[in-house]
């Protein structure tokens, strides 16, 4: 008498489709993933070498949507003309307080600007860090 309701309940539970909460896919950082600082430095080498087209190509979509290739190249060439070549670049800080965003600051010495702070902002998307913003102050 008590067995029949229990069996009926078990049958109903087992026949119901499983409910599995799908968590939002969170990017996974592995040992093979360059750190934000490594990625920023790789990108800055392209800019230092005046390879503006490739620096634009390797930047995040947000960067590319904000500035077209020609506009980025013209803007950066003018800035680099003013500052001159990079003499030294030292890590100042890394801010990882926002989810999937890294803000990296470097104390940089240019040929014609002795004390500058370069700021490179990266986002972690599609399994890698990509530059979304760059400025020199």
37: CB partners within 8 A, 6+ apart? 91, 94, 104
- What is the second-level CATH architecture of the domain 33-136? Roll (3.10)
CA 134-35-113 angle, 5° bins: 35
Per-residue pLDDT averaged across 131-137, rounded?
A: 96
The tens digit of pLDDT for each residue in 26-69 reads: 555 555 678 999 999 999 999 999 999 999 999 999 999 999 99
Could you tell me if 124 and 29 are in contact, meaning their C-beta atoms sit under 8 angstroms apart?
yes
| Dihedral in degrees, nearest 10, Cα atoms 91, 96, 101, 105 | -20
User: At 33, is the secondary structure helix, strand, or coil?
Assistant: coil
Instruction: Check pLDDT > 50 for residue 130.
Output: yes
Percent of the chain at pLDDT exceeding 70: 77
Q: So where are the chain's domains?
A: 33-136
Whole-number Å distance between alpha carbons of 60 and 133: 9
* pLDDT of res. 33: 72
Instruction: Check pLDDT > 60 for residue 24.
Output: no
């Amino acid at each position: 008498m008590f067995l029949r309701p229990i069996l009926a309940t078990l049958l109903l539970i087992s026949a119901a489709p499983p409910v599995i909460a799908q968590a939002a896919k969170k990017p996974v950082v592995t040992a093979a993933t360059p750190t934000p600082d490594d990625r920023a430095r790789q990108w800055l080498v392209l800019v230092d070498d005046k390879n503006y087209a490739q620096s634009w190509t390797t930047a995040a979509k947000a960067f590319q949507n904000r500035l077209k290739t020609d506009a980025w190249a013209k803007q950066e060439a003018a800035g680099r003309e003013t500052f001159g070549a990079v003499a030294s670049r030292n890590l100042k800080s890394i801010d990882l307080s926002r989810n999937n965003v890294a803000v990296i600051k470097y104390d940089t010495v240019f040929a014609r600007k002795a004390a500058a702070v370069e700021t490179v902002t990266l986002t972690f998307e599609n399994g890698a860090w990509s530059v979304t913003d760059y400025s020199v102050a």
